[in-house]
Amino acid sequence: MKNSALYTTPLVEPTQKRAKETYRSLLRAAQEIIAGEGFEALNSNAIVERAGLTPPAFYRYFENKHSILAVLGRQLMDAQNAIVEELLSHDGWTGRNALDETRTLLRETLKVTETFEGGYALMVSLRAIPALREIRLSSHTHVATQMTDRYLELNPVADRGEVYDRFRLTSEIGYASVEMLLETDECDRDRIIDRTAIAITSVLRS
């Protein structure tokens, strides 16, 4: 049985200008397909046709469609995680400003996911495709660890395991809320964000 990591890692990371342009064209084509038709429509032939390239160009960089989804998924996770890093630079994010800061974090995460072409389909693929699951889990672990480390700088006597568990849980709550708001427009966004922020701060303060 082949290692699933083979399917989620680019075969080659391009360094030359022309190669980088080809690589970006493939990624862009994949995004356009999943944004317009969903990841079920994604395959190597569809990607190279959309990019105006040939199959050898695809297989020079990627094992299959899962490996190109993995690159895009990591890019999306990085964009979402950058919002957390910005939050951690603020004073009072765990104090009296926690609720407002959490609302802002949720709004910005929703915004960056919507503006990332194919963002919702990528979120679904990271949950639905077993080979991509580790990307989502590793990202959430990274975020919870960052928040735990920062919290312990401010509250050094707190129990690390307890703090980590709470941040890991709140990351899942926030992620699920964003995914729901992208999936349906039947709920009021501001109300859902507000309720999610209240739930998250409640977990952190309990």
pLDDT, position 198: 96
CATH 1.10.357 domain range(s) in the chain = 69-205
Instruction: Give residue-wise pLDDT tens across range 118-163.
Output: 999 999 899 989 989 999 999 999 999 999 999 999 889 999 999 9
pTM for the model stands at 0.86
* Portions of the chain given CATH number 1.10.10.60: 4-65
Whose CA is closest to 71, among 8, 18, 118? 8
**Would you state the torsion angle of the CA atoms of residues 151, 156, 158, 160, taken in this order, to the nearest 10 degrees?**
70
Region 163-169: mean pLDDT is 96
Please tell me the predicted confidence (pLDDT) of residue 12: 63
- pLDDT value of position 6: 41
* Structure confidence at residue 170 as a pLDDT band (50, 70, 90): very high
Please report the pLDDT score of residue 92 as a whole number. Answer: 65
Q: CA nearest 68: which of 25, 18, 17? A: 25
What DSSP string describes 22-88?
A: HHHHHHHHHHHHHHHH-GGG--HHHHHHHHT--HHHHHHH-SSHHHHHHHHHHHHHHHHHHHHHHHH
Written as six digits, the tokens of 131 are: 């080979």
The domain at 69-205 falls in which architecture? Orthogonal Bundle (1.10)
Mean pLDDT of the chain: 89
Closest CA to 125 of 181, 170, 67: 67
**DSSP 8-state assignment for residue 131:** G
pLDDT at 186: 92
Cβ–Cβ contacts within 10 Å for residue 25, how many?
17
Domain 4-65: which topology?
A: Arc Repressor Mutant, subunit A (1.10.10)
What integer is the mean pLDDT of 83-89?
87
Tell me what pLDDT residue 8 has. 53
Task: Show contacts of 76-79: CB within 8 Å, 24+ apart.
Answer: 76/113, 76/116, 76/119, 76/122, 76/123, 77/126, 77/135, 77/136, 77/139, 79/112, 79/113, 79/116
pLDDT surpassing 60 at residue 36: yes
**CB contact at 8 A, 139 and 109:** no
Burial 49-65 (b: 16+ CB within 10 A, else e): ebbebeeebbebbbbbb
Q: Is the pLDDT of residue 2 over 60?
A: no
Structure confidence at residue 16 (pLDDT): 78
